[in-house]
C-alpha cells in the first residue's frame, strides 16, 4: 500500500522531516485514524514505553520491523494534563501498540531515527467538534517546537476502491480509469477549504465538510476524517488568521482513494501542523 511504496507523498514526508530536524523539532504529536476509545469526552494517550507495531497488509515487514520507535512519555503526560485541564477525560494507555498510520509516516519522515513522539486516540463517537477541540487544547505545543500531525485521508472509502490490480499484481497505484466523480468532487472541496480558510474560519469550514453531499461517498466511516479536525483545531486559532494551508503533495491509489498532504504554518513562524 501507499505507506510502504515510493511516491510523491513519501518524498514530501522526507522533506518535512528534514526541515523539522534542521529547526530543532522537540517532538511529534500525532493523531491517526485507527485507534479510538469509548466513552463520552474520553481520549487516550499512548504511554507504552516499548510499543510494538501492528502488521501492515500488503507491506513487507522488512520495511518497518527494525525501526525503533521512541515514545515521548513526558510529552504524553503533558498532553494528558493539558487535555484534562480543558475538560476532557484523558488518560494514558500503556498497552497500546502503534499502528501503520503513524509509524510508517515516521519512518518516511525520519529514516535516521524516530524523534520523541506522542500518539493520541480518537473518540469512538467521531464528533468533529470534539476532535477539533483536542487540537485546540494542544495548539500551544507548536510554539514550543512540537510538530503536530494528523494522519487520515481526504477520500477514504474502502468499499468503493478498486482492489483487483492490488490483489492480482500488487499494484496499488494502478489507475485503469480516472477516479470517480464523487471522489474528485469531495477531494476538491477539501483542498478548497484548507487553502482558502484560516483561523477560526478554517475550523468552521472543516466541520461543515461532514455535511457535504459527497461526504458519505468519500468516507464510509468517519474515522479517517477526524485527524483533519484535530489539525484544524491545532492550526485554527485566532492567532493563525492569515496562515493558509498548502497542498504540497498528493497520491491516489486503488483508483478512488486520495491521500492529500497539507501543511499549515511554517518553521519561520509557528511550528507547522500537517494533515
Provide the residue range defining the domain that includes 48: 2-274
**Pick from 22-31, 57-66, 113-122: least confident:** 57-66
The 10s digit of each residue's pLDDT in 90-107 is 999 999 999 999 999 999
d(CA 211, CA 207): 8
271 pLDDT higher than 70:
no
Dihedrals phi, psi of 6, to nearest 5 degrees:
-70, 135
Pick from 107, 108, 100, 104: nearest CA to 13: 108
Dihedrals phi, psi of 66, to nearest 5 degrees:
-90, -5
d(CA 251, CA 249): 7
Dihedrals phi, psi of 260, to nearest 5 degrees:
-100, 135
Dihedrals phi, psi of 130, to nearest 5 degrees:
-60, -50
- 62's grid cell: 522488512
32 pLDDT higher than 90:
yes
Residue 1's pLDDT is what? Answer: 65
d(CA 105, CA 260): 14
CB 98 within 8 A of CB 69: yes
Residue 195's pLDDT is what? Answer: 98
d(CA 145, CA 139): 11
Structural domain tally of the chain?
Answer: 1
Radius of gyration of the chain (CA): 17
d(CA 13, CA 106): 8
d(CA 225, CA 217): 13
Residue 262's pLDDT is what? Answer: 98
d(CA 149, CA 211): 24
We report the CATH number of the domain holding residue 266 as: 3.40.830.10
120 bridge partner residues: 31, 45
Amino acid at each position: 500500500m501507499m505507506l510502504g511504496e515510493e511516491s510523491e507523498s513519501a518524498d514530501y514526508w522526507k522533506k518535512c522531516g528534514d526541515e523539522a530536524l534542521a529547526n530543532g523539532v522537540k517532538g511529534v504529536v500525532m493523531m491517526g485514524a485507527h485507534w479510538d476509545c469509548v466513552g463520552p469526552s474520553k481520549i487516550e494517550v499512548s504511554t507504552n514505553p516499548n510499543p510494538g507495531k501492528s502488521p501492515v497488509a500488503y507491506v513487507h515487514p522488512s520495511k518497518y520491523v527494525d525501526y525503533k520507535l521512541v515514545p515521548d512519555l513526558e510529552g504524553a503526560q503533558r498532553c494528558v494534563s493539558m487535555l484534562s485541564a480543558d475538560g476532557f477525560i484523558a488518560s494514558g494507555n500503556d498497552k497500546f501498540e502503534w499502528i501503520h498510520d503513524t509509524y510508517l509516516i515516521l519512518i518516511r519522515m525520519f529514516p535516521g531515527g524516530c524523534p520523541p513522539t506522542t500518539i493520541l486516540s480518537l473518540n469512538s463517537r467521531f464528533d468533529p467538534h470534539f476532535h477539533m477541540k483536542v487540537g485546540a487544547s494542544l495548539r500551544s505545543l507548536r510554539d514550543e517546537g512540537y510538530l503536530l500531525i494528523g494522519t487520515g485521508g481526504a477520500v477514504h472509502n474502502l468499499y468503493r476502491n478498486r482492489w483487483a490490480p492490488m490483489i492480482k499484481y500488487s499494484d496499488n497505484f494502478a489507475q485503469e480509469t480516472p477516479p470517480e466523480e464523487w471522489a474528485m468532487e469531495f477531494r476538491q472541496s477539501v483542498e478548497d477549504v484548507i487553502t482558502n480558510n484560516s483561523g477560526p474560519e478554517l475550523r468552521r469550514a472543516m466541520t461543515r465538510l461532514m455535511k457535504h453531499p459527497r461526504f458519505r461517498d468519500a468516507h464510509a466511516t468517519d474515522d479517517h476524517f477526524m485527524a483533519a479536525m484535530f489539525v484544524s483545531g491545532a492550526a485554527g486559532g485566532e492567532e493563525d488568521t492569515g496562515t493558509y494551508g498548502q497542498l504540497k503533495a498528493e497520491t491516489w491509489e486503488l483508483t478512488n482513494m486520495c491521500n492529500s498532504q497539507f501543511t499549515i504554518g511554517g518553521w519561520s513562524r509557528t511550528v507547522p501542523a500537517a494533515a
